[in-house]
Structure 1
Amino acid sequence: MTTFSFQRVGAMTLRYSYLLRSSYPRMLEMIYWPLVQMLTWGFLQIYLVGRPGGLAGAEPSAIGAGSLVGAVLLWDILLRGQQGFSFSFLEEMWARNLPNLFMSPLRPAEFVAAMMAMSLMRLFIGMVPVTLLAIWFFGFNLWALGLAFAGFFAILILFAWSVGLFVAGLLLRYGLGAENLVWSLMFVIQPLGCVYYPVAVLPSWLQPICWMLPPTYVFEGLRGVLIDHALRVDLMAAGLALDAVLFTLAAWSFTRLLRSAREAGSLLQTGE
């Protein structure tokens, strides 16, 4: 059995970076959607701050602290991290290249590592300009959160990779019939992750489900930093612990689904 090779991971990452670099519209799209989201919610925040008592009972302190803009930026890190992982996988399916990859010396772990690297690269291209524009338009500096931002990013990107890995396994086993999960699954998680509101506003029976999702700890922690000026290390630790469990389960699922796809011969039937 071949050992894990960083050289093969680098080769796959280079392949995906060439594909990305060859399509400027695709690169522009990575900035476009986070920018539209940030501007929409940012101007809504300005409008809310300008109203006495906020809108619909919204807490002026929460709005004024920039929690809406901060939540939008962190949500886009989660969403783009997952989609950046999944898009590299989908490109191989669309090109009917998966059988070639799995017949090569490339190991599944190396393939996954390359997709993680591309997820980070896509995030860097798409999110860094938007975070800088958030400073210019709204005076909100995500980078100024320092250690808190580092913790939030780690929790979100690990969860994004867990979801991406699980969806990749489903795509291997069931083909492009499961493609919609790439676009829709994270939006099912969004209301339960309490991106724009605290867990306390949800029905009591739903709150335990929310606390089973790592993003909930991030967005509760964000509101703690911005509104209460308190770094909730306990929330970060709990989010990372959940991530470790979910990533392990996702990796196990991916391995099992890959084995099942090989046995069923579905690897040779992928494509559009």
Structure 2
Amino acid sequence: MSKRMESLPAIERHNPAFSFNRISAMVLRYWYLLKGSWPRILELGYWPSMNLVMWGFLQTFLAQTTDVFAMAGDVLVGSVLLWELMFRGQLGFTISFFEEMWSRNFGHLMVSPLRPVEFVAALVGMSIIRTIIGMAPALLIAVWFFGFNLFELGIALVAFFANLVVFGWAIALVVTGIILRNGMGAESLAWAVPFIFVPLCGIYYPVSVMPGWLEAIALCLPPTYVFEGMRSILFDQVIDWQRLAFAAVLNVGFFAGGYIIFMAFLRSAKERGMLLSIGE
């Protein structure tokens, strides 16, 4: 066995299949890019805060108009915050990927000892960091301006956060895969694709108001169970753990499918020799 190892190139002998050092190095790279640019940091918190202020003041106006809207006010604000969690989780992954595309560095990474699974893990880690930074101002505004504290959802919030962010990562894997295949001309998909799910996941209304065929589609999407679960907590003070567990199972399938698609497009880009020119 030792003779066989000695016959391997040095880079293979010292290149483990999965390295947390390489992952942390990539996360550190993106962290330095982020903290070195105040416009990047400002942008993270700007859109969640602006969306919350817009919908929050709408909720305040409606609450002053009728008691029915007053009861639904917390649901509206909570829906905005949870939607932003999913959207920011997806963008946090995709924007870090774009950093490599914009700098035309992705091809160099793929010929380094960094493995694709480690690259994805680093993007996941950076997505969590960007999501926390971006959502912090919006969470504070929700408490100060509208008296809504998302943390009052309790332990269910952890399940909500995990399901929404993982689904965002699944979307991001598919989007980045498409960009690998088609180039940066498809960059706008990073912002467009998540909004396809706004009417499908019952973010601002229960899925029961949808036509039967559309409701069936909605029930195949993990975020649907998160938003239904939030309304169940706020209206009935009941946590439906069974539905949240089902959402987690669906997310495993979506994330695995997203990773398979990403790897398939990455292999296609390699075979076509696009890795060094994909940023153009």
How high is the TM-score relative to the length of structure 1?
0.95
Q: Structure 1 residue 99 and structure 2 residue 110: aligned?
A: no
Q: Structure 1 residue 125 and structure 2 residue 123: aligned?
A: no
Question: Match of 1:217, as an amino acid?
Answer: Y
Question: What are the equivalent positions in structure 2 for 1:148-167 lying under 5 Å apart?
Answer: 148-167=156-175
8 Å Cα contact 1:173-1:257 kept in structure 2: yes
8 Å Cα contact 1:31-1:125 kept in structure 2: yes
Residue 154 (structure 2) aligned to one of 126, 141, 146: 146
Structure 2 residues without counterparts, runs of 5 or longer: 1-11
Question: Match of 1:37, as an amino acid?
Answer: N
Question: Match of 2:254, as an amino acid?
Answer: L
Question: Match of 1:126, as an amino acid?
Answer: G
Q: Structure 1 residue 252 and structure 2 residue 266: aligned?
A: no
Q: What SS does the corresponding residue of 2:157 show, helix, strand or coil?
A: helix
Match of 2:5 in 1: none
TM-superposed deviation, 1:86: 0.1
Match of 2:235 in 1: 227
Q: Structure 1 residue 237 and structure 2 residue 245: aligned?
A: yes
8 Å Cα contact 1:83-1:164 kept in structure 2: yes
Match of 1:211 in 2: 219
Residue 202 (structure 1) aligned to one of 195, 198, 210: 210
Q: 1 CA distance for matches of 2:140 and 2:65?
A: 27
Match of 1:183 in 2: 191
Q: 1 CA distance for matches of 2:249 and 2:275?
A: 33
Q: Structure 1 residue 41 and structure 2 residue 55: aligned?
A: yes
Residue 172 (structure 1) aligned to one of 157, 174, 180: 180
Question: Match of 1:130, as an amino acid?
Answer: A
Structure 1 residues without counterparts, runs of 5 or longer: none
Question: Match of 1:270, as an amino acid?
Answer: I
Larger radius of gyration: 2
Give the number of aligned pairs: 266
Match of 2:39 in 1: 25
Q: Structure 1 residue 61 and structure 2 residue 75: aligned?
A: no
Match of 1:193 in 2: 201
8 Å Cα contact 2:64-2:70 kept in structure 1: no
Residue 7 (structure 1) aligned to one of 18, 21, 34: 21
Q: 2 CA distance for matches of 1:180 and 1:38?
A: 23
Q: Report percent identity of matched pairs.
A: 50
8 Å Cα contact 1:193-1:210 kept in structure 2: yes
Q: What SS does the corresponding residue of 1:206 show, helix, strand or coil?
A: helix
Q: 1 CA distance for matches of 2:180 and 2:227?
A: 32
Match of 2:7 in 1: none
TM-superposed deviation, 1:62: 2.4
Q: Deviations over 1:88-113 (max 9, x none)?
A: 10110111101100010000011001
Q: 1 CA distance for matches of 2:40 and 2:260?
A: 32
Question: Match of 1:85, as an amino acid?
Answer: F
8 Å Cα contact 1:62-1:223 kept in structure 2: no
TM-superposed deviation, 1:53: 4.9
